[in-house]
Amino acid sequence: MKSWIDRREEQIQKAETAEARYSAELDKALDEYHALEAHAKALDPEELKTARLSLRPEEEKRAVSKVEDVYGNSYDYATMREAKGQVADLLGEEPIDSKPRSVRRDLQQAQKKVKFLEQEPWQHSSNKKQAIDKSR
């Protein structure tokens, strides 16, 4: 029983040491974050956005690479795309896929409109009933 207690006390000591180390690392990271945040407030917003956008592609590639390495075969592109969208939302940016998707949707709608206009007037769904009623 005494050896069990000794092992538990040793585990508690290790946990407390690790907690102190992680707490110090967290405090250091928070201090660095607050310093960078204060520095960012002093910068011109457009200049900051330009700098962020110039760094983003390379940093995004590194992050994706790390995630792919960690997840291996379990890597899911859709989840990564969703995460990129969430980052864009947090940064107040337009989602990356929104413009191509809306252009595609606009093109499809325009094509439907052209098809509709190329039909004979009696083929239009709103005029079908009138055409049928007139033929009777």
Record the tokens describing residue 101, joined without a space. 């998707």
In a domain? residue 15: no
Is residue 74 in a domain?
yes
Could you tell me if residue 23 is left (phi over 0), alpha (psi between -120 and 50 degrees) or otherwise beta?
Answer: alpha
Can you tell me the distance from the alpha carbon of 54 to that of 117, in angstroms, rounded to the nearest whole number?
45
What integer pLDDT is reported at residue 124 of this predicted model? 56
Q: Structurally, how many domains does the chain consist of? A: 2
Q: Is 70 exposed, middle or buried (0-12, 13-18, 19+ CB in 10 A)?
A: exposed
Task: Summarize pLDDT for 4-30 with one digit per residue, the tens.
Answer: 999 999 999 999 999 999 999 999 999
Q: Residue 10 falls within a domain, yes or no?
A: no
CA–CA distance, 77 with 84 (Å, rounded to integer):
10
Alpha carbon distance 121, 131 (integer Å): 9
Q: What pLDDT, in 10s, does the model give residues 119-132?
A: 766 665 555 555 45
Say whether both 116 and 134 belong to one domain.
yes
**pLDDT score for 23:** 94
Helix, strand, or coil here: 94? coil
Domain that holds residue 84: 53-96
- Label residue 99 by pLDDT band (50, 70, 90): low
In a domain, 59, yes or no: yes
Q: Residue 28 and residue 18: Cα distance in Å, rounded?
A: 15
Q: Which of 94, 96, 91, 98 is nearest to 48 (CA)?
A: 91
The answer to whether residues 57 and 83 belong to one domain is: yes
Q: Is residue 92 part of a domain?
A: yes
Torsion of CA 61, 67, 69, 74, to 10 degrees: -130
Residue 81, domain member (yes or no): yes
- Residue 135: inside a domain, yes or no? yes
- 72-85: pLDDT as tens digits: 888 888 888 888 88
Question: What is residue 129's predicted lDDT score, i.e. its pLDDT?
Answer: 52
Q: What is the pLDDT of residue 10?
A: 93
Between 40-54, 57-71, 94-108, the lowest mean confidence (pLDDT) is in 94-108
Structure confidence at residue 50 (pLDDT): 87
Assess whether 92 and 57 both reside in one domain: yes
Q: 91 pLDDT band (50/70/90 cuts)?
A: confident
Residue 71 domain-assigned?
yes
Tens digits of per-residue pLDDT, 47-67? Answer: 888 888 888 889 889 989 998
Centroid of chain to Cα 17: 36
Query: Helix, strand, coil proportions of the chain in percent (round to 5)?
Result: 90, 0, 10
